[in-house]
A and B are shown apart, each in its own frame.
Chain A
Amino acid sequence: MSWAWFHRFASPPWVYGFAARWTPWFGGAALLAMLWALYAGLVLAPPDYQQKDAFRIVYIHAPSATLSMAVYTTMAIAAAVGLIWRMKVAHAVAAACAPIGAWFTVATLGTGMLWGKPMWGAYWVWDPRLTSELVLLFLYFGYMGLRAGIEDPVKADKASALLAIVGIVNIPIIHYSVTWWNSLHQAPTRLLGKADMVWPMVWPLLLMFLAFFLFFGTVLLIRLRAELLRRERNASWIREVLA
């Protein structure tokens, strides 16, 4: 098998062009999927027998929560690739991931608080999953803080990559330690197989997951291009691309 397809990803000009080509496709697909899923989730899906219409916030809350963790994983993998194979582009991907993941975490906490008020009677409770999500936000802050605190870009890339890897080893330990400490959040809902939700509620949610992943892809490609422009601002290919 030829590895040429992989090696191309090490070249900033090629990745810049790749990101530029794919941004409209990802963006268009994300927009279509999100509008369709929003209509299905807010209008077509039946109200919950217990939570009535308030349950519909799940269509934003659950995908945000999944993405907040998926983006951290993506960031840590990109960071590890950058550290092991010394790929500049991989470090740029990791750098581009951090703010997106932090915003997904904020969205998860925000929608969770809005949901918690009518359901639990309080905006915030010290439940394990809320607490681990908050700690995840602090991990993102730490990552971005370390990146911003080191002036030398090569050192900043490597040090923050190491932190991302240390963080991903720690996330399960943090999660289980707080689970053991206190629990109120509902158990994860099974969507497929012996499902806890009925199909008319489930499919808009699955579609929304897809929409969120596509949205993440779109924003990542845009941020990656900005990151590459900033990093390679003295390279000659920038002039050709922007001309």
Chain B
Amino acid sequence: MKTGSLDVARLVIARDLRLAFRKPSQLLQPLMFFMIVATLFPLTLTPEMSRLRDAAPGVLWVGALLSSLLALEFLFREDAQDGTLEQFALSGQSLTWMLFAKTCVHWLLTGLPLALSAPVAAVGLGVPAEAMWSVVASVALGGFALSLIGAISAGLTLGARRGGVLLSLLTLPLAVPILVFGADATHRAITGGDIGPPMQLLGAIAVLGVTLAPLAASAAVRIGLE
């Protein structure tokens, strides 16, 4: 019996979620890192709410970017080391599709929790309550695009002895457009502007990412496995 692609995606997602919830500490690390980064800014910049509000989009986005980079290290590395990715590649199923499913799980476990916890950090940065939904939406959408871009660099660094700094060096330049539009959406949300245009551009980047990034990621993983 041939397994359909939706079944494959369901199996990959179920497996990754189950494995992730067996190590809750690893799951919480990016979130805690994000909170600590957000705490450092009032301490170093100013405790004054009006000035923090101006800096809030930058703080939220740099924090979210750094924490998702931290989690990117675990996206493929463990599965590459224990041979799971090799089995994926040999399974006869589309590796692109399976890696896309893995990337979606990565977003579910890091991007989405980061977006949902962004209001906690945002309150501390003087962001008004009515802007919260827009802040959550922009960080969630931007985080999805970041996970897709990140999957490429995570695949590329599989062949390197250590990911770490190299992973950030590869991802950050590619993430510039996401950061620009994401921070702009958050800024508009805080100042009561129209978040439509930057959100649409973020959406366009995410759609482009969905179309091309899994292909590039699977090519990168295949190179790493050779």
B226 touches A145 (CB 8 A): no
A174 touches B170 (CB 8 A): no
Bound together, the chains give a CA A207 to CA B212 distance in angstroms of 40
> What 1/0 mask marks residues of chain A from 160 to 176 whose CB sits below 8 Å from any chain B CB?
00110111011001100
Shortest CB-to-CB span from B112 to chain A, Å, is 24
Across-interface contacts of A135 in B (CB, < 8 A)? 173, 176
Across-interface contacts of A15 in B (CB, < 8 A)? none
Bound together, the chains give a CA A194 to CA B152 distance in angstroms of 44
Across-interface contacts of A142 in B (CB, < 8 A)? 166, 169-170, 173
Max chain A CB contacts within 10 Å: which of B161, B174, B224? B174
Across-interface contacts of B216 in A (CB, < 8 A)? 162, 165-166
A139 touches B173 (CB 8 A): yes
B159: contacting residue among A152, A169, A170, A177, CB under 8 A: A152
B224 touches A159 (CB 8 A): yes
A149 touches B174 (CB 8 A): no
Bound together, the chains give a CA A170 to CA B184 distance in angstroms of 19
Interface residues on A, range: 20 to 34
A138 within 8 A of B: yes
A150 touches B173 (CB 8 A): no
A141 within 8 A of B: yes
Max chain B CB contacts within 10 Å: which of A141, A149, A152, A155? A149
Shortest CB-to-CB span from B150 to chain A, Å, is 12
B123 within 8 A of A: no
Across-interface contacts of A150 in B (CB, < 8 A)? 159-160
Across-interface contacts of B177 in A (CB, < 8 A)? 170, 173-174, 177
B159 touches A156 (CB 8 A): yes
A151: contacting residue among B161, B208, B212, B223, CB under 8 A: B161
A146 touches B170 (CB 8 A): yes
17 residue pairs bridging A and B, Cβ less than 8 Å apart: A135-B173, A135-B176, A138-B172, A141-B169, A146-B160, A146-B170, A149-B160, A159-B159, A159-B220, A162-B156, A162-B216, A163-B170, A166-B174, A167-B174, A170-B174, A173-B205, A174-B174
